[in-house]
Amino acid sequence: MKQELIIAGFGGQGVLSMGKILAYSGLIEGKEVTWMPAYGPEQRGGTANVTVIVSDEPISSPILSSYDTAIILNQPSMEKFEDKVKPGGTLIYDGYGINNPPTRKDINVYRIDAMDVAAEMNLIKIFNMIILGGYLKLHPIVEIDSVLKALKKTLPERHHHLIPQNEEAIRKGMELVK
Partner 1 sequence: MADQEITLMKGNEAIAHAAIRCGCDGYFGYPITPQSEVLETLAEQKPWETTGMVVLQAESEVSSINMVYGGAGCGKKVMTSSSSPGVSLMQEGMSYLAGAELPCLVVNVSRGGPGLGTIQPSQADYFQSCKGGGHGDYRLIVLAPSSVQEMADFVDLSFELAFKYRNPAMILSDGVIGQMMEKVVLPPFKPRRTEEQIKKEAPWAALGRDKNRKPNIITSLELDPSVMEDINIRLQKKYAQIQENEVRYEEYMLEDADYAIVAFGSAARIAKKAIELARGEGIKVGLLRPITLWPFPIKQVAALKDKVKGILSLEINAGQMVEDIRLAVECKIPVAHYGRLGGIIPAPDEVVDALKKMM
Beta carbon nearer to partner 1, 23 or 129: 23
In whole angstroms, the minimum distance from the beta carbon of 123 to partner 1 comes to 25
Closest CA to 22 of 51, 57, 45: 51
Residues that bind partner 1 (CB under 8 A): 20, 23-24, 27, 32-37, 39-41, 59-66
Beta carbon nearer to partner 1, 27 or 115: 27
Residue 118's identity, in one-letter code, is: A
Rounded CA-CA distance 96/65 in Å is 26
In whole angstroms, the minimum distance from the beta carbon of 45 to partner 1 comes to 16
Closest CA to 126 of 162, 154, 91: 162
In whole angstroms, the minimum distance from the beta carbon of 149 to partner 1 comes to 12
Cα-based torsion angle of the residue sequence 42, 45, 47, 51 in order, rounded to the nearest 10 degrees: 70
In whole angstroms, the minimum distance from the beta carbon of 41 to partner 1 comes to 8
Beta carbon nearer to partner 1, 18 or 117: 18
Residue 142's identity, in one-letter code, is: V
Residue 152's identity, in one-letter code, is: K
Beta carbon nearer to partner 1, 27 or 169: 27
